Structure 1
Amino acid sequence: MASGVPTGVRTDRPSAAAVEGRFARWRGRRIARVVTWAARVAGLLTILSLALPVLRRHLQPATWFGFPAQASLAGTIVVAALGIGLMMLATGLRRRKRRAWQLAVLACVLLVVSHVLGRQSVVPAVVVLVLLAGLLVTRREFTARPDPVGPLAGVRVVLQVLLGGFVVVLLLLVVRPSLVEGRPGLGEKAAQAALSLFGVSGPLRFRAGWFDDLTAGLGLTFGVAALVLGGYFLLRSAEPRPALTRGDADRIRDLLARHGRGDSLGYFALRRDKAAVFSPSGKAAVVYRVVAGVALASGDPLGDLEAWPGAIAEFLATCRRSGWVPAVLGCSEAGARVWVREGGLDALELGDEAVVDVATFSLQGRAMRTVRQAVARVRRAGYDTTVRRLRDVPGEEPAQLRELVARWRGGPAERGFSMALSRVADAEADPDAVVVVATCADEVRGLLQFVPWGTEGLSLDLMIRDPAVPDNGLNELLIADLLGACRGLGVDRVSLNFAVFRSALERGEKIGAGPVARLWARVLRTASRWWQIETLYRFNARFGPVWVPRYLVFDAVRDLPRIAVAAFEAEGYGGRPPALLRLLRR
């Protein structure tokens, strides 16, 4: 695996197009950041103008040009909602969403009108006017498309939540008439329920103060929920259903056939839940999946290194058009350099990939004693293995292996994204993949699947065994026998598991390690109770691999929490709760 930059290609200086593109992205990000903070300040000052005496000294409900007190109170609530709305819109403005820009302009116009009618302090009015002018001047920078479900989705959600709150409050008023003074009609109760959604007192008077508070609190809760959910559906980024078209898959296979040796993760671009963008020349591609507003690519760009900048530019342009946060999970050092140079992104070392050189691997020697003993123990227990290309697996055996894997998993959930193919023993789609099967008493007990890494390498895709198998050392046996069979398969290198933060664990264990390094290593060991951080590192280290660093590439530090959520969800370790996702999609 190439851990540096291939020779013959200049990497010290970006091209003129790359410089121009980086400047345009830098300019857009700076403008979006200034407008975002201006929206936050304007929204905050608007809210404070209703709360702080120094800012609301001129705001008296009766002075709104002779309007009734109820209308003035409603206007005050509208102003507060607009201030909160501006602060909510700031996130969409930072992602340069066109719809966020439109709503922000509308909110600014309404706020200017309200400041004139209410004769408020001049400070919030000036800030809102400056924000409005800035939005109009920079309108061409806000081009990110909305969610493809359409603008009515947000309106529909708002109406549904408001209707739900109205019905709940109205039912309370109908079923408990004894807590209301007099004999109000259904129309008065409906007016009370409707006004409660906006925090406005209705025509009813209550005998019990707690009942008044309950109906008002419920109504306002539903009103705020409608505002928040409506804003989410209006401003959310598109999250298209992941699907790799047959045409894109054929183009990716062609790129892998010509340049697949460069990256051990290249074949995983053929996952069916990814999408692809290609360079203008068609000689390179970036494959990604959108999760939680993050366009998450994995590994290096595919294809010719000289065409990578074009594919990167297309990917970043796609992210900009849809308001997605760009991120790359697990790219190599060579890939990270190109992403940083051509895309203007930042890189963070994420961990190390264990790559075993077949020519130098041997079970002999003191360093291999643990693996050798484990393999011998499992062989004595009656286990045997077979190593075959999928195209050589006969008859119905692939289907039987798929059924076994599904039963061992106990459900459809699968972990892995950057180093997992998401399908097992599919001889038609992956004829060059290798399966290593362990049997005992004619029963399959464990399985490894490796995908091609160019024509002379393999990359681990799946490692699974029967949960009922008590024998320790089965995985060691499978890997050792695979490495022993590699020469017959024409394979000279094998990529095993990815060890997250391996170097941090190693540094924390060295004599003389500083307190920060020891503390970070301790945190990682604690996290290993839930995620296999240290376990994978120890397991991989047994085979004497070469550690190849892998990187996380991102646009801004503030995006890292969102990227972490997206990566955890994509890899199958958590993220957004499935029930919440189903509810939001519904």
Structure 2
Amino acid sequence: MKEKLERYAIFRLLAALFRTRAVRFIIPVAVIALVYIEGSHELKQIHIGQTMRQLREMPKPAVLLILATALLSVAVMSGYDFLIRHHFRLKVSARTTFRYSWISNTFNNILGFAGLTGAGVRTLLYKRSGVPAAKMGQAVLFLSPMVITGLSILSWTVVAGIFPAWELFAVHKWLEVAVYGVGLYLVFFVGVQRSALFAKWFNRGGERIPFVTVGASLGASFLEWSFAATTFWLISRELLGPVSFSETVGLYIVAAVAGILSMAPGGLGAFDLTVLMGLQIMHHSSDEAMAVLVMFRLFYYIVPWLIGLLLVAVDFASKGLAGTGPEPEFLSESSSGETECPAVKKGAVPAPASASSCASATASTSEGSGILNAWQRFWRWPGQYGFLTDFGAWALGKLVLIGGLMLLLSAATPALLHRLRFTERLLSLPLMQLSHLLTVLIGFLLVLLSRGISLRVRRAYQLTTLLLWAGAVFSFTKAFDFEEAIFLLIVAFMLWISRDRFYRESAPVTGRLLGFWFLMTTLIALSYYLLGSHMLDGFFKHLPMKPRNRVVHDMLTPHDYAITAALGLAGAWFLITIMLLLRPYRQLKLGASPEELDQLTLFLQKTPGSYLTHMLYSGDKGLYWAKDGRVLFGYAKSRDKLVVLGDPLGPRELIADAIVEFQQYADKYALTVVFYQVGEDYLSIYHDSGYRFFKLGEEALVNLEAFTLSGKRNTDLRTVNNRFEREGYTFEVLTPPHTAELLQELNAISTEWLDGKKEMGFSLGWFDETYLQRAPLAVIRSANGQALAFVSLAPVYDRGRTMSIDLMRHRKDVPNGTMDWMFLRLLLWCKEQGCARFNLGNAPLASVGQNKRAMREERLASLVFRYGGRWYGFQGLRRYKAKFSPEWEPRFLAYPVSAVLPLLTVDLVRLVNRRMKTGG
């Protein structure tokens, strides 16, 4: 029965994890994979070289016309934002509305995921203009059903034969069904727009939607899809020659329907394969079809998105999306994804159990909160995307990344012949070849440095700025590629005007992160080589004349591409390694020095400690003194987090400001602060600082003033006490300094108890002679004087009122009840010493997630507590400590909203299970 319950608990755990993560993304990922598997035949016929040749030889006037139409296609999407601005009476200027629209719509086009990205970005942007997230939640829900109405209108034009797609339907009947389905959506939309149910769910105040608003939404959506279709036709006409406007637009409409139904970002996969098949049915080659796709994605998706990144970067540089000045991201309103919670502030609803509940609490006070809350719970909106916490810096980082990839792509693709000849007249061939190699090296370095830019690391900014200028110069000297040079100079200018915001000294670098970036850059290097070496024939074989120019022949060989890729990758990693070795990370103190421990002793003579304070003497934790030395944090580093052990020590009125000061200290190194095993006293302060909570368990505290061996309830304890006294066992408490002989004897007990297992640390003591010399030791000896068990005590530094247990060890063959007698005698001894309370330690996961409305993670922890006895005796430990009739105090984990709790749990487990080096 127990095994069945354990299997059921594991199944529930996996099911919940699957529901929270995988379901939200499995549909688009599966569709993309399926589409590309099914379309492998079409994809194999594509020659990248010929495709690139077609793109690079497009006439400039045609490029400008297509670009203008594509940008106009994105601009008309602002009609959505102007609609919600008017309907919800948002106090945002027209200029700001247009800018917010451009940014959110282009990000949504690139990342997609059922409109989730656009919703999150909109909420973040409008929040900077004072629009509450709850109100934007209603606005986004109001907007969501309108977006595809224009495509639905166009679907009817396909059905009516205005823009025919019959040949495509004949090959794939499901496309015809899909078009009819999207067409019917218009009927559904118009039918429910004026209904009371729609008004209750989606409209502010529950009022019916005015006819003017319905018409405006249909018009905005129709213009968006119509201009997009026109952009597609212009590209097709330029690359394919004279093509039928009606057939080309019909193909686009059908492909857009397939892309919408796939839910993938930008319709990736379904849209592309439908276009490939449709253009081949229209008697165009797969290379020509691929060129149309690449150009459409470039002009309609990537170029507008780059403009959106620049708009974000400009805002970041001028006033900042994270507030004014180079303040850390945790001080930003948007950093935690929090929403202002007026209902809680006014006392209209009880304070939420976690910081993330604030948006839900606010939304629950308004009309239509049911569907809003359900939508937020499923998608974890608006905090789904962590990059939104520091949007401006993230945008700059992506601009640098794109700049690096652009340099590599430019170096991998053959330059235009007339540019090569022009550059050869000005420069020598060796200089051009050196410029080509340095361009590749700079490209790899920019890719690697982009993360440092997103994290606002000062040294990354300095080196990146230099590389951008150098990359612009070498783009000219390599093959007169002025387009790349202009883009790099624009990015360099954006970095320069944002220079004051790069304040961090360094950022954490883990082995896993290095492995990821090494794998990514290796794949980029391989792609560079394959692109450069295998596309030459496809690039040149369709030219009227074969290239006979010496510079072309000498610069464009597969051997050169292989050498350049290897040298560029190796050189970039060599320079990055030197930077990592020389980074100023050593300023972050990861252990306490003997001088700091002496300072800790003086501090505790004036300031009360806590149940975990004695662990600071182990030396594996750094000590941070805030508020001019009046508040103390004991912390250790785990990956990208500084984990504080227990609550800060110091006057309560200084704690809030001290937390901000410590967060600023951690933020200089791109680290976040987590508080481990905190009590209830400071929860409101943590909440105001942007933290959520997870209950870790309960602390067992025995009231020594009420503790006695008399009474029926303590019969078992009296029996144990009488038996051990009768058999001649002795109990003694030894105060430091301890003799070397005693410590050697106890070390033998500890070694036998460990039985080859590794010592734990951080929140647990371990056998270290220097550490054990700081507190009393309780020892049980047999009748013949042999030490059988020992316990190290941990003073709480509250003027002797409380004592806590620390290290517990015993031999394997001790009599039953030995540790019961140890605890019993410790309680009596501490009572004799005048202590009021004794801390028996923590019972992990005790009383966690028992309420059915508790956090999902805590309910999962409750299953582990009940059915995880095979791995750890959670229930047994709590029952054991309950023998001594303790009072139970809860202990919590306080973590920032941006942290992912499962990953944080892994970091904490690793921290507790590793021994850190002592000393400074």
Q: TM-score with structure 2 length normalisation?
A: 0.44
Kindly state the Cα deviation for residue 233 of structure 1 after the two structures are TM-superposed: 3.5
Structure 1 position 268, deviation (Å): 2.2
> Which residue of structure 2 lines up, in the alignment, with residue 207 of structure 1?
none
Q: Percent identity?
A: 20
Secondary structure of 2:705's match? Answer: helix
Q: Structure 1: where are the runs of 5+ without partners?
A: 1-18, 149-153, 159-198, 204-212, 579-586
Distance 1:525 1:344 in 2: 31
Q: Residues 75-474 of structure 1 correspond to what in structure 2 (within 5 A)?
A: 79=439, 81-116=441-476, 118=479, 122=483, 128-146=488-506, 201=559, 226=574, 229-230=577-578, 232-233=580-581, 237-238=585-586, 242-260=590-608, 263-309=610-656, 311-341=658-688, 343-361=689-707, 372=717, 375=720, 379=724, 384-391=729-736, 396-402=741-747, 404-406=749-751, 408-409=753-754, 413-420=758-765, 423=768, 429-430=774-775, 433-437=776-780, 439=782, 441-453=784-796, 454=798, 455-466=800-811, 468-469=812-813, 471-474=815-818
Distance 1:404 1:520, change over 3 A: closer
Question: Are the aligned partners of 1:374 and 1:473 in contact in 2 as well (CA < 8 Å)?
Answer: no
Residue 834 of structure 2 aligns with which residue? 490
- Tell me, in whole angstroms, the C-alpha distance in 2 between the residues paired with 1:126 and 1:216: 24
Change (3 A) 1:121 1:288: same
Counterpart for residue 570 of structure 1: 911
- The question of whether the paired residues in 1 share the 8 Å contact of 2:465 and 2:492 is answered with yes
Q: How has the CA–CA distance of structure 1 residues 297 and 552 changed in structure 2, closer, same or farther, with 3 Å as cutoff?
A: same
CA contact (8 A) 2:695 2:892 kept: yes
Could you tell me how far apart the structure 2 residues matched to 1:398 and 1:21 are?
A: 56
Structure 1 window deviating more from structure 2 (314-323 vs 24-33): it is 24-33
Summarize the alignment of residues 458-537 of structure 1 with structure 2, pairs less than 5 Å apart: 458-466=803-811, 468-469=812-813, 471-504=815-848, 506=850, 519-523=860-864, 529=870, 536-537=877-878
SS in 1 for 2:586: coil
Q: The residue matched to 1:461 in structure 2 has which SS?
A: strand
User: What is the rounded CA distance, in whole Å, between the counterparts of 1:277 and 1:89 in structure 2?
Assistant: 30
Q: Deviations over 1:170-201 (max 9, x none)?
A: xxxxxxxxxxxxxxxxxxxxxxxxxxxxx983
Alpha-carbon separation, structure 1, partners of 2:567 and 2:584:
25
The answer to whether the 8 Å contact 1:357/1:494 transfers is yes
TM-superposed CA distance for 1:499, in Å, is: 3.2
Q: Deviations over 1:55-96 (max 9, x none)?
A: 969677957923789976775665555444434334433443
* Cα separation, 2, equivalents of 1:237 and 1:532: 40
Distance 1:564 1:310 in 2: 27
- Work out which of the residue numbers 384, 394, 402 in structure 2 matches 1:36: 394
The CA RMSD measured in Å over matched residues stands at: 5.0
In structure 1, how many angstroms separate the alpha carbons of the residues matched to 2:441 and 2:639? 26
C-alpha deviation, 1:414, in angstroms: 2.7
Displacement of 1:487: 1.3
Cα distance in 1 between the residues matched to 2:857 and 2:675? 27
2:325 and 2:501 in contact (8 A); partners too: no
2:849 and 2:855 in contact (8 A); partners too: no
Q: Aligned pair in 2 of structure 1 residues 58, 335: CA closer, same or farther (>3 Å)?
A: farther
Match of 1:14 in 2: none
1:464 and 1:145 map into 2 onto residues whose CA distance is 43
Task: Assess if the C-alpha contact under 8 Å between 2:802 and 2:837 holds in 1.
Answer: yes
Matched residue SS, 2:824: helix
**What is the letter of the counterpart of residue 698 of structure 2?**
D
Q: Is the 8 A contact 2:701 2:888 kept in 1?
A: yes
Q: Secondary structure at the match of 1:417?
A: coil
| Code of the aligned partner of 1:447 | F
Separation in 1, partners of 2:849, 2:829: 32
Matched to 2:761, the amino acid is G
The 1:35/1:357 distance shift into structure 2, 3 A limit, reads same
Q: Distance in 1 between matches of 2:914 and 2:699?
A: 19
Maintained 8 Å contact 1:267/1:451: yes
1:201 alignment partner, SS class: helix
Question: In structure 2, what is the Cα distance between the partners aligned to 1:378 and 1:258?
Answer: 44
| CA 335–68 in structure 1, closer or farther in 2 if over 3 Å, else same | farther
Q: 2:886 aligns with which of 545, 555, 571?
A: 545
Distance 2:739 2:639 in 1: 42
Q: Residue type of the partner of 1:145?
A: E
23 and 85 in structure 1: CA distance in 2 versus 1, 3 angstrom threshold: closer
- After superposition, give the CA deviation of every residue in 1:150-174 in whole Å (9 maximum; x if it has no partner): xxxx9xxx9xxxxxxxxxxxxxxxx
Cα distance in structure 2, aligned partners of 1:349 and 1:21: 36
Instruction: State the match for 1:8 in structure 2.
Output: none
Larger radius of gyration: 2
Indicate if the aligned counterparts of 2:778 and 2:792 stay in contact, CA closer than 8 A: yes
After superposition, the Cα gap between the structure-2 partners of 1:361 and 1:107, relative to the gap in structure 1 and judged at 3 Å, is farther
Shift of the 437–130 alpha-carbon distance from structure 1 to 2, 3 Å rule, reads farther
Q: CA deviation at 1:134?
A: 3.2
One-letter code aligned to 1:296: V
Deviation sequence 1:249-289 (CA, Å, 0-9, x none): 3332233233325x211222223233323234433222223
Provide the residue aligned with 1:180 in structure 2: none
Task: Kindly provide the CA deviation profile for residues 459-484 of structure 1, in whole angstroms up to 9, marking residues without a partner as x.
Answer: 22111222x32655433332222123
Higher helix share: 2
Shift of 1:245: 3.7
Report if the CA contact (8 A) 1:385-1:439 is conserved. yes
SS at match of 1:415: coil
* Cα offset, 1:451, TM superposition: 0.9
Residues 448 and 47 of structure 1, relative CA distance in 2, 3 Å threshold: same
Shift of 1:102: 1.6
How many residues align? The count is 489
Moved more, 372-381 or 383-392: 372-381
Distance 1:337 1:88 in 2: 40
Q: Structure 1: which amino acid aligns with 2:793? A: F
Q: Distance in 1 between matches of 2:604 and 2:730?
A: 30
8 Å Cα contact 1:37-1:90 kept in structure 2: no
Call closer, same or farther: CA 1:395–1:514 in 2, change over 3 Å.
Answer: closer
